[in-house]
Structure 1
Amino acid sequence: MHSIINLVDTGFIGFMSQEAMRSPRFLHVVETVVNMYLFKGVGLIALLWWIWFRRDNAEDPEAEAVRRRQREIVVIAIASGFLALAAGRLGAHYLPFRLRPMYEPALRAFFPQAMVEEPVLRTWSAFPSDHVMLWSAVATGILLASRPWGIYALFHAIVLIGLPRICLGLHYPTDVLGGAALGVGITCAMNASAIRTHIAAPMLAFALRYPGVFYSVAFLLSFELTTQFDELRVLAHGLLH
């Protein structure tokens, strides 16, 4: 099984990397997509805020119950995102180490010198893709609240976040697929009715009682989730090394 996975990974990487190396402009676009937060989670976080504030069918007697459920889903999507990010970090640390394709000697010829602004990549295991794991978890929450936008969100997580990272040699295809599966699974598990209500109810009550504090904290959490604590991670790595 391990050899089959490696064969699929290297075959896919070989095809994608050769196509990318033929077009410097395409490579530049891919690097831009990987390096800019606008193409990572900014749009997905904006969708969560839209779900939180939208008022569909305001005259419907069940509208308030629907609105509360959607806000519960938003809370769970954020919580699942943080849980997925933490699980991805722990998985990269405790699972067997997997060198990223761009540093693998047998695959080095496939990759140009990509200008990817991410630290400690050499010492951080490739599996699972914590980016895809995080944003697949958030996208699944969006899907549970709005199917059309949720389909786009999952497409965004896989194609705009995962695929460019394969193309630049940051991850193998199975790192991305594994991260997506784990992210989706975390959000689905967290959205079990009893779990969702237990976690979200105190947050919704707090939002009604202290809206200023709640939305200030929500903004900060949204920012940190979007950046995946990059600055704090760089600072911690600098202090430890």
Structure 2
Amino acid sequence: MTHFDTWLIELMSPAIMDSPRFDHAIETIVAMYLFKGVVLTMLLWWIWFRSERADGPDGAALRRRQCEIVVIAIVSGFIALAAGRLLAHYLPFRLRPMYEPALRAYFPEANIDEPVLRTWSAFPSDHVMLWSAVAMGIFLASRPVGIYALFHAIVLIGVPRILLGLHYPTDVLAGAVLGIGIASLMNVNAIRTRVAAPMLSLAQRYPGVFYGGAFILCFELTTQFDELRVLAHGLLH
């Protein structure tokens, strides 16, 4: 825990501790998938189809680039999610603020139904890593919409997790930087075109299979594989 973390937690705490309604609203935002990934996933679908009617050679090139960016945004999200889990596992353990005795007075009694929070390191925020990577992909396709997407990932996903004591501010900032960095690296032209090519070929040859699989993939990405994790836990225990 840094002095910056302590200072910002002390600064933000009155907003949620002094208002039960605000506390309830923040808990609702954290618990709902709509405020996590549904909106950003919808924007990826919008990017995929928005240049569908563009004509001529330039139009075809634009359509392909937009589709490549969508593929890479999803791939970057998976890489960010995996990297976040690996970093949390292998870096020194960091207890979540809500369980830190010295900070307990700064957080409400939140009813957050997330497994293994007490034993899973807080650093970095894998939620923010994942959705910052996706948001950066959206930004590269459309700057105005991408600015909102980055705001959504950092403020609507990250800040509520700080307010409830799920993460320190530096967990969220590090997650945002790492997610944006991964997406930026994956969008280097040589990497983007090579990684996206098999998916675009599949979409052209077998559109039914591709879009069916894309729907399932986006659903699991939006829920961060919660159901699969519950299923795996039930089978293994």
* Short-chain TM bin: over 0.9
TM-score for the superposition, normalised by structure 2: 0.96
Aligned partners of 1:85 and 1:8: how far apart in 2? 25
**Displacement of 1:10:** 1.1
CA RMSD of aligned residues (A): 1.3
Given that 1:17 and 1:168 are in contact with CA atoms closer than 8 Å, whether structure 2 keeps it comes out as no
TM-score for the superposition, normalised by structure 1: 0.95
Which position in structure 1 is the counterpart of 2:185?
189
Aligned partners of 2:224 and 2:56: how far apart in 1? 38
1:233 paired with 2:229, answer yes
Q: 1:156 aligns with which of 135, 146, 152?
A: 152
1:141 paired with 2:137, answer yes
Which position in structure 2 is the counterpart of 1:24?
20
Which position in structure 1 is the counterpart of 2:112?
116
**Displacement of 1:238:** 4.7
Structure 1 residues 6-15 or 138-147, which shifts more? 6-15
Alignment of 1:166-177 (within 5 A): 166-177=162-173
**Displacement of 1:236:** 3.2
**Displacement of 1:109:** 1.0
Which position in structure 2 is the counterpart of 1:90?
86
Which position in structure 2 is the counterpart of 1:48?
44
- Fraction of identical pairs, as percent: 75
Instruction: Read off the aligned partner of 1:85 and give its amino acid letter.
Output: L
**Displacement of 1:6:** 1.2
Gaps of 5+ in 1: none
Gaps of 5+ in 2: none
Alignment of 1:46-85 (within 5 A): 46-55=42-51, 58-59=54-55, 61-85=57-81
Instruction: Read off the aligned partner of 1:196 and give its amino acid letter.
Output: R
Deviations 1:93-120 (CA, angstroms, capped at 9, x unpaired): 0111000000001101111110112111
**Displacement of 1:14:** 1.6
